[in-house]
A and B are shown apart, each in its own frame.
Chain A
Amino acid sequence: MRLSHFDYYAPTTVADAISLLQSKPDAHVMAGGTDLLIKMRHAGLKLKTIISLKSISGLNTIAFDETKGLTIGATALLADVAIHPDILKYYPTVAQAARGTANVQVRNMGTVIGNLCNASPAADNAPTLLAMGAEVHIQGPSGKRTVPLDQFFKGPGMTALEPAEIVTAVHVPRLTPHSGTAYISLSARGQLDCSAVGVATMVTLKEKVCEDTRIFVGACGPTPIRVPKAETIVRGKELTDDLIDQAGVQASAEATPITDVRASADYREKMVAVLTRRVLSQARKRASE
């Protein structure tokens, strides 16, 4: 497909990027371009203006602080997140999701924030960050604001961003003591694939009791979705295998998958139960370590 002719800007500050976005309302923000350029080349997206964030210094920072937690900048690469020592140590599931996204070439260009802003229901990085209670830092014409990630996704390709707003970072709080996370995704091809279904969870234990949990399912609805009733089943109770099984069945009931080229609705529904079961027991194990 013909790539439309477009103007390309590479501002060096967030403020400049925002004013550019204000002056060119049809402009599109780009980080790695691994989704955007494909849409332009193969899906008929015709853009007049692209604003790259790559020249804004400091925006690719990955910062970890013992008390504040983790901040991943808008242009931090998936490849860098996947091997960052602090992320590997304190947020292993975040690193795992980044490492499991697409392929080496895409990870070397693409970003975690880009994966979120593209707002695909199948985005590999979303479920874990959602389960961990991450929030996105947004900057726009009217200043800065912070939005919990679970209020960020509005539909396939749609987010809570207002015109001329940019996501500058995602912030992930530190895991509380005795907490564990897990993410498992499935696809038709073993490696290098787009997930047909994925489930992430965070579990906090007090002795054997599940003090709190958040469970998110990917690729089974218009956005990654939370399965609150499944959470209710285990929250406040001793996290037994039996209870975990029940939570899986409930999560499956709460998911709203469709049939598409990657899997049937029926298979997805069944897999939500299986994966929910598996992430809960993995997270339980990690929480008690």
Chain B
Amino acid sequence: MKKDFSIVGKSVPRNDGKAKATGTATYTDDIKLPGMLHGKILRSPFPHARILNIDTSRAASLPGVKCVITGEDTPKIKYGNWRLFPDTQDEYPLAIDKVRFIGDEVAAVAAVDADTAEEALELIKVDYEELPGIFDIDSAIKEGAPVLHDYCPGNISVNRKIHYGDIEKAFAESDYVREDVFNVHAVSPAYLEPCAAVAQCDLDGRITLWTSTQVPYIVQCLLASTMGMRENDVRVIKPFVGGGFGGKMELRTWEFCAAFIAKKTGRPVKFTMTREEEFLAGRRRHAMKLYSKVGFKKDGTLTGKDLRIYLDGGGYNAMGPTATFLCGTFGAMLYRYPNYRFWGQHVYTNKPPASAMRGFGAPQSLFATESQMNIAAEELGIDPIELRIKNAQVTGDEIPDVATISSCGFIEALQKAAEMSGWKEKRYSPKPGQGIGIGCYSFISGGVFNWFNTQFPFSAAEVRVFDDGTAHLLTMAADIGQGCDTVLKQILAEELGLKMEDIRITSADTSTTPQADLGAWGSRLTMMNGNAVLDAAKKIKAQLFGAVSARQNLNVIHELGCKDGMVFPKSRPDRGIPFGEAVAMAQKANRGEPLVERGYYTPRDKGLVTPAFSFGAQISEVEVDKDTGVVRVKKFWTAHDCGTVINQMAVEGQLEGSIQMGLGYALSEQFVMEDGKTLNTNFLDYKMPNAMDVPPSEVAHIETYEPEGPMGAKEAGEGLAIPTAPAIADAVHHATGYRCKDLPITPEKILAGKKD
């Protein structure tokens, strides 16, 4: 199935690289409109409290303050991304009656400048009745625990079960059964651009919102419903965005407040979060408690898995329902489990809501899977890579109720990673204090589920072509730094035989780009939008081929192609016509109507989870200081299968970023919390690794061809964030004898657990 590509597969510099590197890229906070007000949010100082009264009068009378709002001023309509199940929509833009975490949004002020707005916050008097708070899963699910939401007396807001085969029988027939409890912690997406939004209201009452989001269409819909407006009266524009990682995929308070106050005052309003607010109250990866039981035959064949997961959801659902669903799905990926049982429960606690974050349930679920594979390998006396190869999923495998895997390079990835890293030598003849370990992943290329209940196709693209040989691509796909503008342009350029510079792109404006798009999450854009772009491009080509065929008086049996700026019969390349001329001919044939086509993609008949799966293996080598417990990762080797690599440089960038994130998840990042209060709300004390901490790494692309993907491509954005923590944990065990089941792997835990 592999093809010769001209642009696809190359290292093409990013569309936005120059603008970002030179500082000319306009982010939301850079937007300044005449008469614009600056907003600030008053947040709850208590983890759990009833609001008895709010007095805003002093704040409102501070000179320079133009508007103060509380929940009472708003239409009191709840929102949440699971529109299909309104019961899960548990959040108001501003608190009504109760606050559920320190940082919960209580009131908003807009003033002539940010300092005045901030000063006004101190003048708002809120009377609270403090309620007992719960800060961990065990206390939250205990009988008689304080209740966060009246509708949910046991604090468990989502239940998800999966069951196939006969798990009890499988364990009874196993030679070896292993049961472990894993605890994984919350971490921050720590995108470099804190959230921001600017809203403007026109004289007809329509809203335009510029916002740092991954999901312009979802924000448009939820903002409209929460404001009590029609969707078409809300326009959402995504400017340059400095990262999201899942933390910007919902409607958020400041987006609502900016729009609401803009409508109320008639003046544009800007809200920009501070880094402290992001760490104090921002979305984060779920902490989870995982009970995992796996069975094997003596020869290492997996017999089944029983997985029980509690998600520490924080005060609201946010994207927790999807994470609950997905961590169960991920539990049955990578390996062949003939019998599988999963029960996931999403638990409310008085902490900032956890939500989507790069991997969406997989880094946690697969940390347990991968750690347990390594434990089992050791106890069964089988090499961890051999054990994996024995149980690895392969092309054509069916995951019950999920999908049939249509391409899979997992075994090749395992073999390649072992070869690149010198696994055998380093694993079996280790040097003192050094260790080598492995972690693997599989991930979805976008979700098939539609809990948002969009009435549109999952993705859309519009392609306009011009007689000067250029094209204009319009898409609602949100480039948030991951590079989809570049990748989509590459796919279009390849299909139409144009150069990158021939293509203009307009993206992520809900009033001008074609309806609709579910956004940048779940590693869906290359798959979903790539296919929509291809669909539109193929329709354009059909028109061009008709025109060229007529002009050249070609026999109907000729196939035509587009390459190097020419449209030509494949058997007679010499009779080609320049792309622009072909466009002019088609346009003339249509009596002047511009040549515009729309393409769409919705995964159908592809199961309930995803149309395609990525795979990969990562090996890490570490050195552990036996006296201090400090871990230094010396090197990573990664072999991964993302189908066709569309852009080498972009995929390698994803890998580098994933390693940096995985390194922090494994070793240093955590929220230091005391009774619901976050104590490390800055980058000094939130220990995110920086460029100097990232070790060297080598990568091998195991190219497969995914039949469902555009030009054979699959995801490369999130899966790579999964293997780093289990690979480091395994290497640390190899070096010290300490097996971490409780992330992060801190020096203290190593010192307490090491075997000399």
> Which positions in A face B, CB cutoff 8 Å?
1-3, 42, 186, 188-194, 261-264, 266-267, 270-271, 274, 277-278
Q: Which of B276, B630, B687, B692 has the most CB of A within 10 A?
A: B687
CB <8 Å contact, A194 and B751:
no
- State how many residues of chain B have any CB contact under 8 Å with chain A: 25
Beta-carbon contact of B690 and A192 below 8 Å: yes
Knowing A266-B748, A267-B747, A271-B628 touch, does A189 contact B276 (C-beta < 8 A)? no
Question: What are 19 A-B pairs at a CB distance below 8 A?
Answer: A2-B115, A2-B118, A2-B119, A3-B115, A186-B630, A190-B632, A190-B689, A190-B692, A190-B693, A193-B684, A194-B685, A261-B672, A261-B679, A264-B748, A267-B747, A267-B748, A274-B627, A277-B627, A278-B627
Asked whether any CB of chain A lies closer than 8 Å to the CB of B159, the reply is no
Interface contacts beyond A190-B692, A191-B690, A261-B685: sample of 16 additional A-B pairs, CB < 8 Å, sorted by A: A42-B276, A186-B628, A186-B630, A189-B689, A190-B630, A191-B693, A194-B685, A261-B680, A262-B685, A263-B748, A266-B748, A267-B747, A267-B748, A274-B627, A274-B628, A278-B627
Q: Can you list, as one digit per residue, whether each of B685-699 has a CB less than 8 Å from chain A (1) or not (0)?
A: 101111011000000
Across the two chains, which residue of chain A brings its CB closest to B629? A267
CA distance A1 to B276 in the complex (A): 10
User: Who on chain B is nearest to A271 by CB?
Assistant: B628
Q: Which residues of B contact A3 (CB under 8 A)?
A: 115
Q: Which of B118, B632, B668 contacts A188 (CB 8 A)?
A: B668
B59 to chain A, nearest CB (A): 14
Distance in angstroms from B624 CB to nearest chain A CB is 13
Tell me whether B672 and A1 are in contact (CB under 8 A).
no
A274: chain B residues at CB < 8 Å are 627-628
Cα separation A263 to B609 with both chains bound (whole Å)? 42
Q: Given A191-B690, A270-B751, answer yes or no on A1-B118 (Cβ-Cβ < 8 Å).
A: yes
List A contacts of B689 (CB < 8 A). Answer: 189-190
Contact A188 B748 (CB under 8 A): no
- Using a CB–CB cutoff of 8 Å, the interface residues on chain B facing chain A are 115, 118-119, 276, 627-628, 630, 632, 668, 672, 679-680, 682, 684-685, 687-690, 692-693, 746-748, 751
Q: Are A188 and B687 in contact (CB under 8 A)?
A: yes
Q: Once bound together, how far apart are the Cα atoms of A123 and B339, in whole Å? A: 57
Contact B687 A193 (CB under 8 A): yes
Q: How far does the alpha carbon of A267 sit from the alpha carbon of B629 in the complex, in Å?
A: 10
Find chain A residues with CB under 8 A from B688 CB.
189
The answer to whether B630 touches A189, judged by C-beta atoms less than 8 angstroms apart, is no
A194 → B minimal CB distance (Å)? 6
Q: Residues of B contacting A263 with CB < 8 Å? A: 748
Which 3 A-B residue pairs are closest in the complex by CB-CB distance?
A: A191-B692, A2-B115, A274-B627
Cα A2 to Cα B632 in complex, Å, equals 40
Chain A residues with Cβ below 8 Å from B687 are: 188-189, 193
B70 to chain A, nearest CB (A): 22
B627 partner residues in chain A, CB cutoff 8 A: 274, 277-278
Which residues of A sit under 8 angstroms from B747, Cβ to Cβ? 267
Inter-chain contacts of B748 with A (CB < 8 A): 263-264, 266-267
Q: Are A189 and B693 in contact (CB under 8 A)?
A: yes
List A contacts of B276 (CB < 8 A): 42
Neighbouring A residues of B119 by C-beta, 8 Å: 2
How far is B750's CA from A267's CA once the two chains are assembled, in angstroms? 11
Bound together, the chains give a CA A233 to CA B746 distance in angstroms of 32
Q: What's the nearest-Cβ distance from chain B to residue A82, in Å?
A: 16
